[in-house]
């Protein structure tokens, strides 16, 4: 039985894309917590040692190998911070955050070049603008998402990622061009719709539809270098984000589990890039939000093409 469970765990890791997603969306549900299957393998290892089962121990090599192939690289050490072209921070600050000024100071304390924020609501927005103004003189806000930058911003516009059935005025996407020392970079900030785990399965259709719209916008982007920062309400393994992960690079190092703050189980706050590399991602100390901030080092930026 232990050997069979080991084989099932290995198959779930290696062939998670084969798990059907129709109806209950079992595939996306599995992929939301895919790295945690490593704990299943660990539990089976303990049981196999207690049972002194050679067959089970040999079978456990399968999930260990699958997990290492998928996630082992994330555990490798990161490069020194000074080697990054840009340091960026992504944070869903929460519309119920009672200390926006402290949150802003904490994020700026990490020394990033760019700070992307979601769930910006009045009057907290004015506090973020005032607190960050000295170190980040350039910023752009559309709806409830915004970007603060040390470098000039141009060509800012709304990105319409509103799924069907959501009322007018729902605005959670922006695009702007950052004039960095390494050339122009098109920066996208987005907050995709929430998902819910229900008795009828994972409710993610609105998130998935919004991801398709955002993926089309990124595909049409004419600037070579692109950075996407946002609360995407999904992990990079979740097939619902394929319209984005198929077009953008994801972090090469770091797990950075960001949600929920009290017991982080998944990283749904993402930094992705095109014509650049997200070399490392990590979490920052908790703020007044139910999300942890994440900081990512970007490398490999060159001169962007004309916008």
Q: What is the pLDDT of residues 240-283, one digit of tens each?
A: 999 999 999 999 999 999 999 999 999 999 999 999 999 999 99
Q: What is the pLDDT of residues 182-241, one digit of tens each?
A: 999 999 999 999 998 887 788 899 999 999 999 999 999 999 999 999 999 999 999 999
Query: Do 273 and 227 have their domain in common?
Result: yes
Query: Do 34 and 62 have their domain in common?
Result: yes
Q: What is the pLDDT of residue 21?
A: 87
Q: What is the pLDDT of residue 307?
A: 40
End-of-domain residue from the set 41, 75, 109: 75
End-of-domain residue from the set 75, 108, 129: 75
Low-confidence winner among 23-37, 84-98, 104-118, 228-242 (lowest mean pLDDT): 23-37
Q: What is the pLDDT of residue 81?
A: 66
Query: Do 152 and 199 have their domain in common?
Result: yes
Q: What is the pLDDT of residues 61-71, one digit of tens each?
A: 999 999 999 99
Q: What is the pLDDT of residue 304?
A: 44
Query: Do 95 and 189 have their domain in common?
Result: yes
Query: Do 94 and 40 have their domain in common?
Result: no
Residue 222: inside a domain, yes or no?
yes
Residue 306: inside a domain, yes or no?
no
End-of-domain residue from the set 75, 106, 124: 75
Residue 26: inside a domain, yes or no?
yes
pLDDT higher than 80, residue 16: yes
User: Dihedral angle at the C-alpha atoms of 293, 74, 194, 32, nearest 10 degrees?
Assistant: -150
- Across the chain, mean pLDDT equals 94
pLDDT higher than 90, residue 160: yes
Query: Do 85 and 147 have their domain in common?
Result: yes
Query: Do 111 and 186 have their domain in common?
Result: yes
What tokens appear for 91 in the block?
A: 């944070």
Q: How many CB atoms lie within 10 A of CB 256?
A: 23
Q: What is the pLDDT of residues 34-47, one digit of tens each?
A: 999 999 999 999 99
**Percentage with pLDDT > 90 across the chain:** 87
Residue 304: inside a domain, yes or no?
no
CATH number of the CATH domain containing 91:
3.60.10.10
Q: Which domain holds residue 51?
A: 2-75
Our count of domains for the chain comes to 2
Q: pLDDT band at residue 77, thresholds of 50, 70 and 90?
A: confident
Tell me the pTM: 0.93
pLDDT higher than 80, residue 79: no
Q: pLDDT band at residue 305, thresholds of 50, 70 and 90?
A: very low
Q: pLDDT band at residue 303, thresholds of 50, 70 and 90?
A: very low
Phi, psi of 244 (to 5 degrees): -100, -50
Query: Do 162 and 286 have their domain in common?
Result: yes
pLDDT higher than 90, residue 148: yes
């Amino acid at each position: 039985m232990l050997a069979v469970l080991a084989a099932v765990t290995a198959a779930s890791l290696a062939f998670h894309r084969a798990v059907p997603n129709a109806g209950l969306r079992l595939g996306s549900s599995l992929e939301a917590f895919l790295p945690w299957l490593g704990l299943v393998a660990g539990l089976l290892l303990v049981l196999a040692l207690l049972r002194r089962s050679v067959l089970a121990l040999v079978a456990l090599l399968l999930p260990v190998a699958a997990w290492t192939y998928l996630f082992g690289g994330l555990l490798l050490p990161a490069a020194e911070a000074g080697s990054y072209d840009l340091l960026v921070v992504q944070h869903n600050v929460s519309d119920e955050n009672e200390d926006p000024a402290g949150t802003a100071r904490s994020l700026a304390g990490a020394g990033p070049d760019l700070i992307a924020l979601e769930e910006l609501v009045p009057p907290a927005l004015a506090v973020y603008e005032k607190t960050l103004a000295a170190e980040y003189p350039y910023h752009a806000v559309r709806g409830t998402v915004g970007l603060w930058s040390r470098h000039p911003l141009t060509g800012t516009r709304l990105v319409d990622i509103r799924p069907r059935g959501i009322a007018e005025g729902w605005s959670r996407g922006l695009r702007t061009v950052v004039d960095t020392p390494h050339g122009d970079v098109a920066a996208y900030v987005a907050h995709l719709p929430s998902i819910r785990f229900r008795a009828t399965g994972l409710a993610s259709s609105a998130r998935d539809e919004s991801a398709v719209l955002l993926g089309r916008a990124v595909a049409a982007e004419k600037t070579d270098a692109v950075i996407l920062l946002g609360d995407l309400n999904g992990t990079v393994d979740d097939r619902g984000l394929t319209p984005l992960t198929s077009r953008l690079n994801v972090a090469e190092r770091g797990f950075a589990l960001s949600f929920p703050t009290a017991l982080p189980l998944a990283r749904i706050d993402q930094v992705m890039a095109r014509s650049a590399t997200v070399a490392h991602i990590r979490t920052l100390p908790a703020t007044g939000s139910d999300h942890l901030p994440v900081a990512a080092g970007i490398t490999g930026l060159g001169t962007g093409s004309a916008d």
